[in-house]
């Protein structure tokens, strides 16, 4: 009987302990509009905040889309001065990006020419991932040159960022993606200050390269070739993510951490670049004359610092961009309180749990005594 009494006493003590500390009320903190965010955190183990957030959404641009792509580049269009294909690229929604045009380099095996005609808004198939439209990039091989696509940030002042892009190669099957193209999403200052996500169509359809270009001959480059998860191919929609922190880089695929490295992490303010290219050299390989490759992009999301960023003096509103209910909409986290609430909740669970176990032990003991 003593055992049962003690058990009941313990149970009530543990539940009193929980209530007395206000645990059982599960206080909900008020939700603040993400427009009030002053700093942003990302998922993963690297600590740190970013001060800015941008979301470029290409999924609902019906006013700017066309059912068929712009005319193919012809052999005469070797100076790359074609006009942009849609007024979208002149809107404020696209502010922050430049579309490159003109001769990139005629030193490469196959001369590289940028053309704005290779960047356009396409109607999506309604059954496909729920998007009405997407941004298309195109590269094509003419006999005398490679016509390519590149979008570059107008700012070259990004210093640390978490960049994400949801994209896929367009083809009815992997076999229909011509070999020799490279799709890149990366930060760039110089060839030695560069952090990359790259997909090479010469390779297997489930591989992606993550690289920090070496800062010097002595420095080791971070370089990993990773397989897409869940049997995906790059002809499927995949979210690729590059985190550039001070001294550490990390890469993710569809929210799964894949690679983390401290080798050759860029240290200088940089641009952000999105491109689709080939130069006929060993890395990309050579695209056959007459072939073309297309990449579709649903959205780009970036949280970032700029080199001259100041710490906010006002009390910060911290927001998260991962695990949010609507992609692209940051959500407020009330950090210190929610963290201590989480700790309290786990303490409470532990306390009650301990109470139950002890009670059970006492009960068992009391039956033994009987």
Binding site for ligand NAG (CB under 6 A): 32-33, 36, 48-51, 81-84, 87, 90, 124-125, 128, 159-160, 170, 245-246, 296, 305, 309, 311
Taking alpha carbons only, the member of 147, 129, 91 closest to residue 279 is 147
Q: Which is nearer to ligand NAG, 10 or 177 (CB)?
A: 177
- β-partners of residue 257 are 252
CB 155 within 8 A of CB 271: yes
Residue nearest to ligand NAG (CB): 33
* Least spacing, CB of residue 134 vs ligand NAG, in Å: 6
Q: Which is nearer to ligand NAG, 124 or 181 (CB)?
A: 124
- Residues in contact with 133: Cβ distance below 8 Å, sequence separation at least 6, in sequence order: 58, 59, 60, 61, 62, 64, 65, 121, 122, 123, 124
Q: Which is nearer to ligand NAG, 12 or 79 (CB)?
A: 79
* Least spacing, CB of residue 13 vs ligand NAG, in Å: 40
* Least spacing, CB of residue 366 vs ligand NAG, in Å: 54
* Least spacing, CB of residue 160 vs ligand NAG, in Å: 4
Q: Which is nearer to ligand NAG, 59 or 209 (CB)?
A: 59
Helices (H), the chain: 2-20, 335-369
Compute φ and ψ for 8, nearest 5 degrees: -65, -40
CB 202 within 8 A of CB 178: no
d(CA 277, CA 183): 7
d(CA 28, CA 39): 21
* Least spacing, CB of residue 219 vs ligand NAG, in Å: 17
- Residues in contact with 164: Cβ distance below 8 Å, sequence separation at least 6, in sequence order: 239, 240, 241, 242, 300, 301, 302
Helices (H), 142-198: none
Distance of CA 148 to the CA centre of its chain: 23
CB 268 within 8 A of CB 193: yes
Q: Which is nearer to ligand NAG, 293 or 359 (CB)?
A: 293
Q: Which is nearer to ligand NAG, 14 or 136 (CB)?
A: 136
* Least spacing, CB of residue 32 vs ligand NAG, in Å: 4
* Least spacing, CB of residue 39 vs ligand NAG, in Å: 8
* Least spacing, CB of residue 311 vs ligand NAG, in Å: 4
CB 184 within 8 A of CB 154: no
Q: Which is nearer to ligand NAG, 39 or 286 (CB)?
A: 39
Q: Which is nearer to ligand NAG, 23 or 322 (CB)?
A: 322
d(CA 329, CA 293): 32
d(CA 204, CA 208): 9
């Amino acid at each position: 009987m003593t055992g049962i009494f003690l058990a009941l006493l313990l149970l009530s003590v543990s539940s009193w302990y929980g209530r007395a500390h206000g645990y059982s009320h599960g206080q909900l903190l008020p939700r603040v509009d993400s427009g009030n965010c002053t700093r942003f955190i990302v998922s993963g183990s690297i600590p740190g905040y970013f001060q800015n957030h941008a979301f470029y959404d290409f999924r609902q641009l019906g006013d700017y889309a066309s059912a068929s792509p712009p005319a193919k580049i012809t052999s005469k269009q070797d100076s790359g001065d074609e006009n942009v294909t849609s007024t979208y690229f002149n809107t404020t929604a696209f502010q922050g990006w430049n579309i490159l045009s003109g001769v990139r380099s005629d030193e490469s095996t196959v001369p590289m020419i940028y053309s704005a005609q290779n960047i356009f808004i396409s109607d999506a198939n309604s059954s496909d991932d729920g998007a009405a439209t997407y941004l298309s990039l195109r590269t094509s091989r003419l006999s005398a040159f490679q016509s390519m696509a590149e979008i570059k940030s107008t700012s070259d002042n990004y210093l640390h960022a978490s960049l994400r892009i949801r994209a896929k190669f367009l083809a009815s099957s992997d076999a229909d993606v011509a070999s020799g193209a490279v799709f890149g999403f990366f930060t760039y200052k110089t060839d030695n200050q560069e952090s990359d996500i790259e997909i090479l169509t010469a390779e297997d359809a489930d591989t992606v390269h993550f690289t920090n270009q070496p800062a010097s001959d002595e420095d080791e480059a971070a370089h990993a070739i990773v397989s897409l998860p869940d049997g995906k191919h790059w002809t499927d929609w995949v979210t690729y993510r590059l985190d550039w922190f001070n001294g550490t880089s990390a890469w993710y695929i569809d929210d799964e951490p894949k690679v983390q490295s401290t080798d050759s992490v860029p240290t200088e303010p940089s641009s952000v670049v999105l491109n689709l290219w080939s130069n006929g050299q060993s890395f990309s390989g050579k695209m056959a004359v007459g072939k073309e490759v297309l990449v579709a992009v649903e959205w780009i999301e970036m949280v970032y610092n700029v080199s001259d960023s100041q710490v906010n003096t006002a009390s910060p509103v911290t927001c998260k961009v991962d695990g949010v209910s609507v992609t692209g909409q940051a959500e407020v986290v009330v950090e210190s309180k929610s963290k201590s609430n989480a700790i309290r909740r786990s303490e409470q669970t532990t306390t009650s749990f301990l109470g139950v176990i002890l009670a059970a032990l006492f009960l068992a003991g009391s039956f033994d005594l009987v």
